[in-house]
Structure formats: C-alpha cells, structure tokens
Amino acid sequence: MQSSATRDFIVGLFVLAGLLAVAYLSTVLGGLSYRGDGSFRLVAIFDDIGGLSQRSPVKIAGVKVGQVAEIALDEDLRARVALDLDARLELPVDSSAAIRTAGLLGDQFVSLEPGAEDELLAPGEFFTYTESALSLDKLVGRLVHGDAFGDE
C-alpha cells in the first residue's frame, strides 16, 4: 500500500483521465459544439427529401460544412429543410442545394453548389435553386412501367 498522498494523487489522475474521456466523447464525437455560435442557418425547399434526416451532413465539393438542423412541411406541402452551416462560409445568392446519396445505397446528404453572383446569401435566406432526392425505387418503377423518361 502506498502512502496516502500518493494514492490521492493517483485517484486524482484517474478522475482526470475519466473526465477527459467523457469530454472527448461529448464534444469531439458527440458534436456538442457544432450547433454553437460558429454557425448560421439557411433554408432550402425540396419537393422530395427522400431519406434525409436531422444531422445529415451538408457538403460542398464533398467537404462537410454543416448539418441538417430541422425538417418541416411548409404551407404548400413541400419539405422545408433548415441547414446549419459553418459561419465562415460565403455563398452567392444563386447557389443551389441538391440531395445526393453517398454511393449507391449510402446515406443521403445535402450538396451545395456555389453560384457566381457577387451578392451573398444572408442568414435565414432561402436557396433559389434546389434539386430533390433521386429515389432509386421511383426510377425502377418508371422503368418497369414503361415511361422511363418521366413525362407523365
């Protein structure tokens, strides 16, 4: 048995290590900070969001820049998706948002395509151009029922 002071020190070390593990899990992995001050919100309206869900990533050119904060139905029955984005991001007003799938069957995410205008999107504004989710079963359905080009 060590002396009591040594033991106290080791217990302190243990508690510190445990708390560090808790902190690592909550902040780095749990993403506690992402919804903090370093983000701003933009809104995109989609006809069909497919399997998109809260916390789905938002990417530009494949790099994660934010996440889906909220999904709701707006008045004309379309999907209203709020995106929390990195505050350092500067997006032109004619940027577009599209729902894409990682791989053939992977998770869905929002992909942003920056536009060319000089004017920038301000927090809370809407994306003008959006592209809905491409659903594999719909495509297969069209193929099977003959109208492969989607003209109804």
Which parts of 68-97 interact with another protein (CB under 8 A)?
none
Which parts of 31-50 interact with another protein (CB under 8 A)?
31-32
Size of the site for another protein (CB under 8 A): 30
146, two tokens: 């003959």
Distance of closest approach, residue 85 Cβ to another protein, in angstroms: 15
User: If binding is defined by CB under 8 A, does position 124 make contact with another protein?
Assistant: no
R_g of the chain, CA atoms, integer Å: 22
User: If binding is defined by CB under 8 A, does position 136 make contact with another protein?
Assistant: no
Q: d(Cα 80, Cα 47) in Å, to the nearest integer? A: 9
Q: d(Cα 97, Cα 43) in Å, to the nearest integer? A: 10
Q: d(Cα 94, Cα 121) in Å, to the nearest integer? A: 8
User: If binding is defined by CB under 8 A, does position 62 make contact with another protein?
Assistant: no
User: If binding is defined by CB under 8 A, does position 10 make contact with another protein?
Assistant: yes
DSSP per position, 124-152: TPBPSEEE----HHHHHHHHHTS-TT---
- From 5, 104, 116, 144, residue interacting with another protein (rule: CB under 8 A): 104
Residues that bind another protein (CB under 8 A): 4, 7-8, 10-11, 14-15, 17-19, 21-22, 24-26, 28-32, 55, 57, 64, 67, 102-107
